[in-house]
């Protein structure tokens, strides 16, 4: 693999994009790990298919979001890598 | 180069190999089912299940024997994302997840979901903060990162200490799990069972290190997920008519709430945040909420700090695949974790619907078979004479019933492990499925124990022996030392497990808190804060780990004295648990002791990092190199240019 070296401005720009992706996902992680479950009592008054919504979010909803976040991180970061030509594959 | 050609053809055919393996395993289960139908006793079936699965793992272990350092430590860095995800899933899901968690959810209801959330959400942190950068860093162990990033032996040695204490606590819990399953299905003494389990663990890892562990873990994942899903799918079909438990247990929840009212059960399955303090009413409380969120935080941050998990992302062929494999890991873990609450709900519904208020003379057969002495997972305690109850059902010890011949709710006792282990029989499935569940539980415990033991032995042989004591040791010597250490650590762990042998969930939670407090700040800031200097990294570990251990030891073992000494500063409750008087500072259960250690680590590293000397320009260059996927693996400044 021919090594591609980024100029220092390119490198800063690459890291800025990477960081902002990280922060976006981190905030969503924070919401679905903690914030949404603060409201479990209110959400439990809504029922879907028998599930009280607050219970559902902790048992399943947040988990689905976590899986999506992980795959989204992988594909979005790939896109940034390709744009800067720094993918290692 | 014959070896390399053989291994690349192995990698290209992974899909076929594991498909054939899965098919053979299914055929094996069907074959045992036929044996059962012909009247072969269940004990023989249990033996066949346990010894044949361990035999398969041993075979994979022997076939993966290696004399190459990079294969021994990081599986040759050829594991594709998808399979690394499966291996991580098995590495991750332990006896506690497989057998214990559904039971914890049965009893804890909503509050038990802290484990479901905590043991999944951490992978988001692994994926965005760590895995790709540790892969690009390109070394062998997590302490390698600390040694390289924070200037040498002090940081490396501290990371090794945290790694060993956290992983050892965790591995003891796994061997207890292996011992319980082996003892139960083979009618064996628990201490002996721990050592039998030990053999099962060592045959997987001794010869082939990480390479062997990886390919065994994939095999173990396949068994454990099949074993976990089958009983609950049948249960769902039986109770609701639809074989999709994850979707249908909402109906069960609704019916459970109905039964809670008619049976007068105060603690509702869906009520959140019940206080952990003794004598608290079963209603939502601030203390319950605080403990719920503290536990989630400790488990998630611990996920992103446990070396046996992080080192799995050293094994992928590229940075890109490391990121993708975090997604696959979580997906494979998710399959089990989003099913566990369904197990709990269906089991509860079945108990409320058909067991409670039934005639003692007509109890379902599974109550007697799982309640008898030696298993003691269920107790129907209707008799007035407590001793007579205990003679039939050991779980009834000290419980007096009203002797009316009907099993009231108050007269029923269940063990947490009963939920997963007895569900096949509750669902009316043949014994062969119970054996399958036992094999699944064993796979879960063995795979986690293997990953942990390897992490400990690698830290001792690579970081302590090779990097710090004898940097000139040749490959052969290093691998011999690794294997000897692996054996020694395993024996010590099995001995500890044999003497401890109790409830394991608190040990597992401590391991997460310890790893989170000691390693998380150093890992995250090491990658994301370029200017952070060596001293800061060292102080981050010392403060995080120190504060965590301080609270852990004093709350657990010196509760009342701790309250006397610091009660004026920190409000504390004393809770009798595990045969001790344990202090709960601010009402927080000490399984979440990381809640004090994690911020202490960050604070110390930040304060020292701002005032002490920043990282050298060479170090900052090095960090730039690990942030970008392409380009050669570089050595950190000051590291010997070997290998």
> How does pLDDT run across A16-31, given as a tens digit for each residue?
999 999 999 999 999 9
Whether B640 shows a pLDDT value over 70: the answer reads: no
Question: Is B561 contained in some domain?
Answer: no
For chain B, what percent of residues have pLDDT higher than 90?
A: 65
User: How far is it, in rounded angstroms, from Cα B142 to Cα B443?
Assistant: 25
pLDDT band at B451 (very low <50, low <70, confident <90, very high): very high
**Whole-angstrom Cα distance, residue B429 to residue B442?**
20
User: Where among B450, B482, B516 does a domain terminate?
Assistant: B516
B326 touching A (Cβ < 8 Å):
yes
A52 chain-B contacts, CB cut-off 8 A: 253, 270
Domain that holds residue B374: 346-416
Give the closest of B124, B127, B250 to A49, CB-based: B250
Which chain B residues are closer than 8 Å to A78 by Cβ?
A: 320, 323
Phi-psi region of B632 (alpha: psi -120 to 50; beta: other; left: phi over 0): beta
pTM of the model: 0.94
Q: How confident is the model at residue B642 (pLDDT cuts 50, 70, 90)?
A: very low
* CATH classification of the domain holding B447: 1.20.1730.10
Is residue B330 included in any domain, yes or no?
yes
The label of the residue with tokens 């965590």 reads B548
The encoded tokens of residue B211 equal: 């390479």
For residue B304, being part of any structural domain is answered with yes
Average pLDDT in chain A: 93
Asked if pLDDT for residue B69 goes beyond 50, the answer is yes
Domain match, B133 and B196 both: yes
Same domain (yes/no): B353, B328 = no
Q: What pLDDT band is residue B1 in, cutting at 50, 70 and 90?
A: very low
Q: What is the pLDDT of residue B4?
A: 57
Per-residue pLDDT reduced to its tens digit, B621-636: 999 999 999 888 888 8
User: Total structural domains in chain B?
Assistant: 2
Q: Which of B516, B550, B575 represents a domain boundary (last residue)?
A: B516
Q: Evaluate whether B313 touches B126 at the Cβ level (below 8 Å).
A: yes
Confidence at residue B633, expressed as pLDDT on a 0 to 100 scale: 84
Q: Is there a domain that residue B552 lies in?
A: no
For chain B, percent of residues with pLDDT exceeding 70: 98
B429 vs A43, more confident:
A43
Q: Which of B247, B324, B628 sits opposite A86 (nearest CB)?
A: B628
Say if B523 falls within a structural domain. Answer: no
Mean pLDDT of B375-396: 90
B89 with B235, same domain: the answer is yes
B232 touches chain A (CB under 8 A): no
Does B99 have pLDDT greater than 50?
yes
Q: Is the pLDDT of residue A2 over 50?
A: no
* Domain match, B37 and B86 both: yes
CB proximity B125 to A under 8 Å: yes
Query: If you average pLDDT over residues B521-546, what whole number do you get?
Result: 96
Mean pLDDT, rounded, for B28-40: 93
Residue B96 falls within a domain, yes or no? yes
Out of B323-327, B381-385, B496-500, which region has the weakest mean confidence (pLDDT)? B496-500
Do B389 and B505 reside in the same domain of the chain?
no
Beta bridge partners of B406: B359
Which residue of B lies nearest to A35 if distances are taken between CA atoms? B293
Same structural domain for residues B322 and B386? no
Same domain, B403 and B445: no
Give one DSSP letter per residue of B546-599, joined into a string.
HHHHHHHHHHHHSHHHHHHHHTTTS-EEEEEETTEEEEEETT--GGGTHHHHHH
Q: pLDDT tens for residues B330-340?
A: 999 999 999 99
Give the mean pLDDT of B605-611.
Answer: 95
Facing B128 at nearest CB: one of A22, A52, A86? A22
Are B323 and A52 a contacting pair at CB < 8 A? no
Would you call A58 and B113 a contact, using CB atoms and an 8 Å cutoff?
Answer: yes
Residue B614 lies in a domain: no
pLDDT at B132 over 70: yes
Structure tokens at B185: 């299905």
Using only C-alpha atoms, chain B has a radius of gyration, in whole angstroms, of 25
In this predicted structure, what is the pLDDT of residue B503? 67
**Those residues with Cβ within 8 angstroms of residue B204's Cβ, 6 or more apart along the chain or in another chain:** B57, B58, B60, B61, B212, B213, B216, B446, B450
Q: What is the pLDDT of residue A64?
A: 98
Taking residues B411-431, report their average pLDDT. Answer: 88
Look at A44 and B272 and tell me if their CB atoms are within 8 Å. yes
Per mean pLDDT, which range of A15-19, B71-75, B496-500, B512-516 is the poorest? B496-500
- Residues of chain A positioned with their CB less than 8 A from the CB of B326: 70, 73-74
Q: Flag whether B624 is in a domain.
A: no
Q: Are residues B339 and B359 in the same domain?
A: no
Q: Are B150 and B139 in contact (CB under 8 A)?
A: no
Report domain extents, chain A.
Answer: 15-83
Instruction: Average the pLDDT over B147-159 and give the result.
Output: 93
Residue B429 confidence class, pLDDT cut points 50, 70, 90:
confident
Task: Indicate if B116 and B13 belong to the same structural domain.
Answer: yes
Contact A33 B324 (CB under 8 A): no
Over residues B222-237, mean pLDDT: 94
Domain boundary among B478, B495, B516: B516
Cβ neighbours of residue B384 closer than 8 Å, sequence gap 6 or more: B400, B401, B402, B403
Residue A1 has a pLDDT of 42
Question: Quick one: average pLDDT of B394-408?
Answer: 91
**Same domain membership, residue B396 and residue B326:** no
Residue A88 and residue B251: Cβ atoms within 8 Å? Answer: no
Kindly indicate the confidence band of residue B643, based on its pLDDT and cuts at 50, 70 and 90.
Answer: very low
Q: Do A49 and B251 touch (CB under 8 A)?
A: yes
Mean pLDDT over the full length of chain B: 91
Provide the pLDDT for residue B2. Answer: 44
Confidence class of residue B46 from pLDDT cuts 50, 70 and 90?
confident
B602 phi, psi to nearest 5 deg: -65, -45
Encode B287-304 in three state secondary structure. HHHHHHHHHHHHHHHHHC
List of residues 6+ apart from B151 with CB closer than 8 A: B534, B537, B638
| pLDDT in the model for residue B507 | 86
Mean pLDDT of A77-85: 95
B390 and B487 in one domain?
no
CA distance A53 to chain B (A): 10
Predicted confidence band at B10 (pLDDT cuts at 50, 70, 90)? confident
The residue-averaged pLDDT of B210-226 equals 95
- B47 interfaces chain A, CB cutoff of 8 Å: no
B493 and B382 within one domain: no
Angstrom distances, CA of residue A81 to CA of A4, A15, B87, B311, B627: 12, 10, 27, 23, 11
Contact B128 A88 (CB under 8 A): no
Q: Cα–Cα–Cα angle for B429, B434, B438, nearest 5°?
A: 160
Interface of A with B in 10-69 (CB under 8 A): 11, 14-15, 18-19, 21-22, 25-26, 29, 32-34, 37-38, 40-41, 44, 47-52, 54-56, 58-60, 62-64, 66-67, 69
Mean pLDDT value of segment B275-302: 93
User: Residue B641 — very low, low, confident or very high, per pLDDT cuts 50/70/90?
Assistant: very low
In this predicted structure, what is the pLDDT of residue B6?
64
Task: Tell me: pLDDT of B557 over 70.
Answer: yes
């Amino acid at each position: 693999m021919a090594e591609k070296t980024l100029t220092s401005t390119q490198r800063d720009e690459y890291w800025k994009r990477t960081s902002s992706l990280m922060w976006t996902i981190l905030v969503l992680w924070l919401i679905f790990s903690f914030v949404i479950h603060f409201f479990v009592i209110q959400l439990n008054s809504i029922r879907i298919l028998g599930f009280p919504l607050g219970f559902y979010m902790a048992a399943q909803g947040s988990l689905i979001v976590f899986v999506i976040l992980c795959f989204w991180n992988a594909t979005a970061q790939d896109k940034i890598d390709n744009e800067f030509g720094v993918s290692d594959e | 180069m014959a070896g390399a050609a053989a291994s690349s053809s192995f990698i290209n055919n992974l899909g076929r190999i594991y498909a054939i393996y899965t098919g053979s395993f299914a055929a094996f289960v069907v074959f045992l089912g036929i044996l059962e139908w012909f009247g072969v006793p269940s004990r023989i079936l249990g033996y066949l299940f346990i010894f044949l699965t361990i035999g398969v793992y041993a075979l994979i272990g022997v076939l993966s024997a290696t004399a190459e350092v990079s294969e021994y430590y990081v599986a040759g860095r050829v594991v594709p994302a998808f399979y690394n995800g499966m291996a991580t899933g098995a590495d991750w899901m332990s006896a506690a997840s497989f057998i214990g968690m559904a039971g914890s959810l049965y009893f804890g209801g909503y509050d038990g979901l802290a484990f479901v959330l905590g043991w999944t959400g951490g992978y988001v942190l692994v994926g965005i903060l760590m895995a790709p950068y540790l892969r690009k860093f390109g070394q062998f162990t997590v302490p390698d990162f600390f040694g390289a990033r924070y200037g040498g032996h002090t940081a490396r040695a501290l990371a090794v200490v945290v790694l060993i204490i956290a992983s050892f606590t965790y591995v003891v819990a796994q061997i207890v799990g292996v011992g319980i399953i082996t003892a139960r299905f083979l009618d064996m003494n628990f201490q002996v069972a721990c050592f039998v389990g030990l053999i099962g663990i060592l045959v997987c890892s001794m010869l082939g290190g990480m390479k062997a562990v990886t390919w065994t873990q994939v095999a173990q994942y396949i068994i454990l997920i099949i074993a976990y899903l089958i009983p609950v799918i049948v249960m769902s079909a039986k109770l609701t008519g639809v074989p999709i438990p994850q979707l249908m247990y909402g109906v069960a929840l609704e019916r459970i709430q109905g039964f809670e009212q008619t049976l007068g059960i105060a603690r509702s399955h869906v009520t959140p945040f019940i206080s952990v303090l003794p004598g608290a009413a079963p209603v939502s409380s601030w203390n319950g909420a605080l403990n719920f969120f503290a536990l989630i935080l400790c488990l998630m941050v611990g996920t992103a700090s446990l070396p046996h998990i992080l080192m799995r992302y050293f094994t992928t062929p590229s940075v890109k695949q490391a990121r993708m494999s975090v997604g696959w890991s979580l997906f494979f873990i998710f399959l089990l974790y989003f099913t566990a609450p369904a197990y709990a709900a269906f089991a509860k519904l079945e108990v409320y619907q058909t067991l409670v208020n039934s005639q003692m003379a007509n109890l379902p057969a599974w109550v007697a078979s799982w309640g008898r002495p030696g298993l003691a997972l269920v107790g129907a305690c209707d008799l007035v004479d407590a001793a007579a109850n205990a003679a039939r059902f050991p779980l009834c010890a000290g419980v007096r019933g009203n002797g009316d011949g009907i099993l009231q709710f108050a007269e029923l006792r269940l063990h947490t492990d009963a939920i997963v282990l007895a569900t096949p029989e509750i669902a009316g499935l043949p014994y062969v499925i119970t054996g399958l569940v036992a094999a699944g539980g064993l796979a879960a415990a063995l795979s986690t124990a293997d990953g942990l033991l390897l992490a400990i032995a690698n830290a001792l042989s690579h970081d302590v022996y090779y990097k710090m004591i004898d940097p000139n040791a040749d490959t052969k010597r290093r691998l011999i030392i690794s294997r000897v250490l692996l054996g020694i650590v395993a024996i010590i762990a099995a001995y500890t497990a044999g003497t401890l042998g109790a409830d394991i969930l608190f040990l597992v939670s401590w391991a997460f808190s310890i790893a989170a407090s000691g390693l998380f700040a150093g890992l995250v800031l090491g990658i994301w804060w370029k200017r952070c200097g060596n001293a800061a990294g060292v102080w981050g570990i010392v403060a995080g780990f120190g504060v965590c251990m301080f609270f852990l030891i004093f709350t657990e073992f010196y509760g009342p004295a701790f309250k006397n000494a610091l009660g004026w500063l920190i409000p504390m409750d004393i809770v009798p648990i595990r045969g001790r008087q344990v202090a709960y500072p601010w009402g927080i259960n000490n399984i979440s002791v990381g809640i004090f250690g994690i911020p202490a680590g960050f604070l110390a590293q930040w304060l020292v990092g701002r005032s002490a000397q920043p990282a050298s320009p060479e170090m900052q260059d090095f960090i730039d190199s690990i942030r970008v996927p392409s380009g050669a693996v570089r050595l950190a400044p000051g590291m010997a240019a070997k290998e």
